[in-house]
Amino acid sequence: MQVYTEQKKVGKQSVLMGKKVAILAAATVAGPKESLGPLSNFFDRHYEDTILAEKSFERAECRMLEEACYLALGKAGLSPEDMDYYLGGDLLNQVISSTFCARSLAIPYLGIFGACSTLAEGLSLGTMLIQGGFAKYILVATSSHNCSAERQYRYPTEYGFQKPGYSQWTVTGAGAVVLGPAGGKGPRIEAITTGKVVDAGEKDPYALGSAMAPAAADTIYNHFVELKRNPAHYDLILSGDLGGVGKKLNEDILAGKGFDITPYYTDCGVLIYYPHQKVNAGGSGCACIALVFLGYYYQKMLAQELKRVLLVATGALHSPTTFMQRESIPAIAHALSIET
Amino acid sequence: MQVYTEQKKVGKQSVLMGKKVAILAAATVAGPKESLGPLSNFFDRHYEDTILAEKSFERAECRMLEEACYLALGKAGLSPEDMDYYLGGDLLNQVISSTFCARSLAIPYLGIFGACSTLAEGLSLGTMLIQGGFAKYILVATSSHNCSAERQYRYPTEYGFQKPGYSQWTVTGAGAVVLGPAGGKGPRIEAITTGKVVDAGEKDPYALGSAMAPAAADTIYNHFVELKRNPAHYDLILSGDLGGVGKKLNEDILAGKGFDITPYYTDCGVLIYYPHQKVNAGGSGCACIALVFLGYYYQKMLAQELKRVLLVATGALHSPTTFMQRESIPAIAHALSIET
């Protein structure tokens, strides 16, 4: 196993990676609402219902995750046996979608939890493990499901609970990535900025955009300062699931700190649905950034239409218990600079 | 940041590390029942009640975790600012103890979930990150709390629910470790074997010892085979929280595969309480291995009374939802060879 030595820690949170690790392949599986959205054509597999003829929403989510993993492996021309580690996490209690997926894959498994920042956490750790000489290929995957997540975090969707305008719609879907040594066309991981937990005091479990925006702004700010970059360094700055409310807040916080990101910036939660799909402030969930980045922008990078992307996945790290105990919502964001 | 190049992948699950990373310091905080157990004198801090004058058991657990972190940092003569990453996880939904602890520590945070295998997962990842040149110092911590865990996984302890004889008692406490470059007296990470998810079909959420034993046996077996070792290589083989039932099962499975571990083997769940403390098959929970290994055996390693220890932390990766949906209990075990 090759050990790379180009990595260089810069400042407190960032590491320059030297572009030795690439996203070799990526695959996406989309639920019904996502399959009717503007990016539908870019997803690998579509489902017209949320249950997939399974016995529960949890089983349906796990199946989507498994399918995304096997699709990504197939695109990379590799099998589960070729993977040194599987890094996975999701929103469900005890990250069960990932665990049950790991059971069928039988790859050495490291469970992670960063809520909707999970994809970026997995890509960060996976890149470091390959570059450190501990692995050649790593599978990173995540999923979310509207019905399993809403039931767990708020109310079962069957109740038809009316949500406030700043709420977001948990995306149903899954995404998987095969990381490996750079060499071919796959976009490369150029730098990683790992987030600190930021808590701005938001207590409303529907207001996740405003809970997560300060964490996104903190990580993006530190990324720019530590690596001496500005927003124009990137063709695209893409946050995970801040939605309309959080996106604006993120822009405003960074503008107040001297960085105008608006010309380069968009958010997956804003892009994944049409306005007429009635999702209030936009999409959310681990699968939001997985579908939009892996389904759409990753393909644009492969086609050389985008060269430098700053991927910023955000996560709200609360639970229904902490909400009921009147705690505020801690949030986190991890950023990866990805280049072709 | 130094990049080490001695690491060597061996077989599918194991990596030889070259003893470049050491456990520089460790600290433990124990709850009331643990403070009355046979190892009480070895824990750094003791609490006589389970609520710590906090408003909830969850807050009490988080406070124990924070205290363990600061105690470990103090022993290492380091501050949170010196830590490059904080790797943490626990049993509660959305790993809230670790998240809220990370909020106060303000260290770049990577949330992990391996149930009661979390300490070993954190030590494994932390060692790889330091050795790969991404960090100099890493804080790894975990916790569990009898009242918060029982309420979440089974019934609130206030109900006084009668448990079967093969059930275990979730340990109340926390443990933290500072990992850093080897050099002083701290025991070193010599090899890591990362577990696959193993599911033997156990469906009873009280029978966690028998759910986890096949995973422990699988990881230990692969560790021996891949690294061409036998049980006598170690002064001590220490599993996390199999308890009396799981310990025997683990011994039996490995004996059936040709490895008699019994002369070298014990389990933290068997050691942490006296028989008269009425814990049925023994202790369990993330804090079980944290208290017993970090409180007791780590000190023995510092004193050179033990030279080679195989630490095997096991986790049951189910949730109350999967139990109610009649799924079986997937389990995992990660092993670390630690040498003075």
User: In chain A, where are the structural domains located?
Assistant: 18-181, 188-339
CB of A85 less than 8 A from some CB of B: yes
Kindly report, residue by residue over A311-331, the tens digit of the pLDDT: 999 999 999 999 999 999 999
Give the pLDDT score at B1: 87
Q: For residue B98, what are the CA distances in angstroms to A112, B29, B88, B112, B125?
A: 12, 15, 5, 9, 16
- List Cα–Cα distances, B193 to B17, B25, B56, B121, in angstroms: 11, 22, 37, 10
Strand partners, A86: A109, A139
Give me the mean pLDDT over the B223-252 stretch: 98
Contacts of A93 in chain B (CB under 8 A): 93-94, 319-321
Other Cβ atoms less than 10 A from the Cβ of A322: the count is 25
Residue B267 banded pLDDT, cuts 50, 70, 90: very high
Q: What does the buried/exposed string (b/e) look like for A35-70 if buried means 16 or more CB atoms within 10 Å of the residue's CB?
A: bebebeebbbebbeebebeeebbbbbbbbbbbbbbb
pLDDT band of residue A182 (cuts 50, 70, 90) is very high
Architecture in CATH of B188-339: 3-Layer(aba) Sandwich (3.40)
Q: What is the 3-state secondary structure (H, E, C) of chain B?
A: CCCCCCCEEECCCEEECCCCEEEEEEEEEECHHHHCCCCHHHCCEECCCCCCCCCCHHHHHHHHHHHHHHHHHHHHCCCHHHCCEEEEEECCHHHHHHHHHHHHHCCCEEEECCHHHHHHHHHHHHHHHHHCCCCCCEEEEEEECHHHHHHHHCCCHHHCCCCCCCCCEECCEEEEEEEEECCCCCCEEEEEECCCCECCCCCCCCCHHHHHHHHHHHHHHHHHHHCCCCHHHCCEEEECCCHHHHHHHHHHHHHHCCCCCHHHEEEHHHHCCCHHHCCCCCEECHHHHHHHHHHHHHHHHHCCCCCEEEEEEEEECCCHHHHHCCCCCCEEEEEEEEEC
Please tell me if residue B14 touches chain A, with a CB cutoff of 8 Å.
no
pLDDT tens string A82-117: 999 999 999 999 999 999 999 999 999 999 999 999
Residue A1 banded pLDDT, cuts 50, 70, 90: confident
Q: Does B58 touch chain A (CB under 8 A)?
A: yes
The interface residues of chain B toward chain A in range 28-47, judged by CB-CB distance below 8 A, are none
* Selected residues 145-204 of chain B with any CB under 8 Å from a CB in chain A: 152, 194-199
- Residue B223 contacts A, CB cutoff 8 Å: no
Contact state of B9 with A84 under an 8 Å Cβ cutoff: yes
In chain A, what residues touch B321 (CB-CB under 8 Å)? 58, 92-93, 96, 152
Q: Which residue has the tokens 């560790």?
A: B223
Chain B neighbors of A8, CB-CB under 8 A:
1
Per DSSP, the three-state class of A35 is helix
Give the pLDDT confidence of A267-313 residue by residue, as tens digits. Answer: 999 999 999 999 999 999 999 999 999 999 999 999 999 999 999 99
Mutation target for A interface from B123, B197, B218: give the one with most A CBs within 10 A: B197
Cβ of B112 and A107 within 8 Å? no
Mean pLDDT of B279-303: 98
Å between A42 CA and nearest CA of chain B:
30
Q: Do A94 and B85 touch (CB under 8 A)?
A: no
- Is residue B106 less than 8 Å (CB to CB) from chain A? yes
Q: Which residues of B touch A110 (CB under 8 A)?
A: 112, 114, 121, 124-125, 194
| Integer angstrom CA distances of residue B116 from A86, A243, B179, B198, B286 | 19, 35, 20, 15, 4
Architecture of domain A18-181: 3-Layer(aba) Sandwich (3.40)
Domain B20-181, second-level architecture: 3-Layer(aba) Sandwich (3.40)
Amino acid identity for residue B212 in this structure: M
Copy the structure tokens of residue B192: 């890591």
> What pLDDT digit, counting tens, does each position of A4-40 carry?
999 999 999 999 999 999 999 999 999 999 999 999 9
pLDDT digits (tens, 9 = 90+) for B118-160: 999 999 999 999 999 999 999 999 999 999 999 999 999 999 9
Q: Kindly state the percentage of chain A with pLDDT values over 70.
A: 100
Out of A100, A110, A317, whose CB is closest to B330? A100
Domains B20-181 and B188-339 share a fold: yes
A214 three-class SS: helix
- Residue B170 CB partners (closer than 8 Å, separation 6+): B91, B144, B145, B146, B149, B150, B283, B284, B285
DSSP secondary structure, A219-257, as one string: HHHHHHHHTT--GGG-SEEEESS-HHHHHHHHHHHHHHT
CB neighbours of A179 closer than 8 A, spacing ≥ 6?
A: A21, A22, A23, A24, A123, A126, A127, A130, A137, A138, A139, A140, A189
Tell me the pLDDT tens digit for each residue of A234-265: 999 999 999 999 999 999 999 999 999 999 99
Nearest to B133 among A7, A59, A198 (CB): A7
Render pLDDT for B45-64 as a digit per residue (tens, 0 to 9).
999 999 999 999 999 999 99
Strands (E), A36-137: 45-46, 85-90, 109-111
Chain B residues with CB under 8 Å of A327 CB are: 100
pLDDT in tens, B227-238: 999 999 999 999
Q: Is the dihedral of CA B240, B246, B247, B253 positive or negative?
A: negative
The minimal CB distance from A134 to the residues B7, B93, B102 is found for B7
Q: Average pLDDT over chain B, rounded to whole?
A: 97
Kindly identify which residue of chain B lies nearest to residue A114, measuring between CA atoms: B111
Interface probe, candidates A94, A212, A326, chain B, greatest B C-beta count within 10 A: A94
Q: Nearest residue on chain A to B17, judged by CA atoms?
A: A134
